[in-house]
């Protein structure tokens, strides 16, 4: 079974023994706990706290095309180690830059946003079918969200500059409606008042922010392997060191994180022992990270139907990015604006 190797214990040391990763962890009694994992079973190495890596371990990861991702305490990736042979081509990135200023680029941006809302609508419709007592209020939210979706779909313009402000405005209105609906699904003690970033003001947003951080890493990796520049955005404008295109494309997959986090609350797995209190919010602790990552990984590893084949849900991101890049340079036919998969279940 392919896995993410997560290092979230302070003082962990990762080194190499042949084709094995060896993890050494010292416990409170200063005793060493040792674990070995075959490199063939590792997809990514996620480092979320103070850890040491040997150069041999880094080389093994590079040889096996295993990316090493460094994440801050809120789950946001701030750096990674890649192999030196990404699949990028000049043709793909040149076309990416050109499309960002064309009417076709408008189509891509609009379609990614409508897919996000389509996923949200499907999620709320399924929740409504199970929560009969909330049928009326969820129907109201679904109808409001549908109006925002239609408004985005109707946007036209020759360049993204023509529609960006309006698109972001519609997205913001849709987001407020959606999160109000999601809060209704929470147990009473975990209801929340809209989105809050880092640090999160409540338990739901604390879990969601970390899950989004994991998702950013998956999308960035898929972009780089497919030859897409993570920094050249369409909707999200270019800023120094901002992975604008990752923020654009991740909209199509955010529903996965939403689903995983909501399921934690609906199955009563969330309690206050998963969080550390900060002066101005909450942070997920080691126990909380382990729970979230185990549930989210299981969801991402589920087999789904994709373009006539059965593959893991997480792998659809890589296929989408390859398809998108090939569409840009004319290797596949059609004006389907990415044809990102809608079905998340």
- pLDDT tens-place string over residues 149-164: 999 999 988 888 899 9
Confidence (pLDDT) at 341: 46
- pLDDT tens-place string over residues 53-69: 999 999 998 888 888 88
- pLDDT tens-place string over residues 233-246: 999 876 656 889 99
Confidence (pLDDT) at 30: 59
How would you write the chain as a 3-class SS string? CCEEEEECCCCEEEEEECCEEEEEEECCCCCEEEEEEEHHHEEEEEECCCEEECHHHHHHHHHCCCEEEEECCCCCEEEEECCCCCCCCHHHHHHHHHHCCCHHHHHHHHHHHHHHHHHHHHHHHHHHHHCHHHHHHHHHHHHHHHHHHHHHHCCCCCCHHHHHHHHHHHHHHHHHHHHHHHHHCCCHHHCCCCCCCCCECCHHHHHHHHHHHHHHHHHHHHHHHHCCCCCCCCCCCCCCCCCHHHHHHHHHCHHHHHHHHHHHHHCCCCCHHHEEEECCEEEECHHHHHHHHHHHHHHHCCEEEECCEEEECCHHHHHHHHHHHHHHCCCCCCCCCCCCCCCCC
Please, what are the domains in the chain?
Answer: 3-71 (3.100.10.20), 90-328 (1.20.120.920)
Confidence (pLDDT) at 77: 82
Confidence (pLDDT) at 31: 66
Confidence (pLDDT) at 28: 58
- pLDDT tens-place string over residues 327-342: 998 877 654 544 454 4
Confidence (pLDDT) at 342: 43
Q: Which residues of the chain have pLDDT under 70?
A: 27-31, 83-88, 238-241, 333-345
Q: pTM to 2 decimals?
A: 0.85
């Amino acid at each position: 079974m392919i896995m993410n190797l997560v290092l979230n214990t302070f003082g962990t040391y990762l080194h190499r023994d042949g084709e094995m990763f060896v993890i050494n962890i010292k416990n409170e009694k200063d005793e060493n706990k040792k674990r070995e994992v075959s490199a063939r079973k590792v997809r990514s190495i996620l480092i979320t706290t103070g850890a040491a890596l040997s150069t041999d371990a880094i080389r093994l990861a590079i040889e096996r095309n295993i990316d090493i991702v460094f994440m801050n305490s809120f789950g946001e990736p701030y750096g990674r180690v890649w192999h030196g042979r990404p699949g990028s081509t000049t043709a793909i990135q040149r076309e990416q830059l050109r499309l960002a200023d064309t009417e076709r680029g408008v189509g891509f941006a609009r379609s990614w946003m409508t897919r996000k809302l389509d996923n949200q609508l499907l999620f709320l419709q399924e929740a409504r079918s199970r929560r009969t007592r909330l049928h009326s209020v969820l129907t109201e939210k679904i109808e409001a969200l549908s109006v925002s979706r239609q408004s985005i779909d109707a946007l036209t313009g020759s360049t993204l500059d023509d529609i960006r402000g309006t698109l972001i405005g519609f997205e913001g209105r849709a987001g407020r409606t959606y999160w109000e609906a999601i809060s209704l699904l929470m147990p009473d003690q975990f209801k929340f008042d809209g989105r809050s970033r880092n640090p999160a003001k409540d338990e739901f947003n604390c879990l969601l922010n970390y899950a989004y951080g994991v998702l950013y890493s998956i999308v960035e990796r898929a972009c780089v392997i497919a030859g897409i520049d993570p920094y050249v955005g369409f909707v999200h404008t270019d800023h120094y060191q901002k992975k604008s295109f990752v923020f654009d494309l991740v909209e199509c997959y955010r529903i996965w994180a939403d689903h995983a986090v909501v399921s934690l609350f609906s199955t009563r797995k969330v309690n206050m022992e998963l969080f550390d209190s900060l002066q101005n919010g909450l942070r997920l602790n080691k126990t909380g990270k382990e729970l979230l990552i185990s549930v989210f990984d299981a969801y991402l590893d589920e087999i789904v139907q994709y373009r006539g084949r059965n593959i893991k849900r997480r792998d659809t991101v890589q296929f989408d990015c390859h398809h998108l890049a090939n569409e840009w340079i004319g290797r596949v036919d059609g004006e389907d604006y990415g044809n990102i998969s809608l079905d998340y279940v």
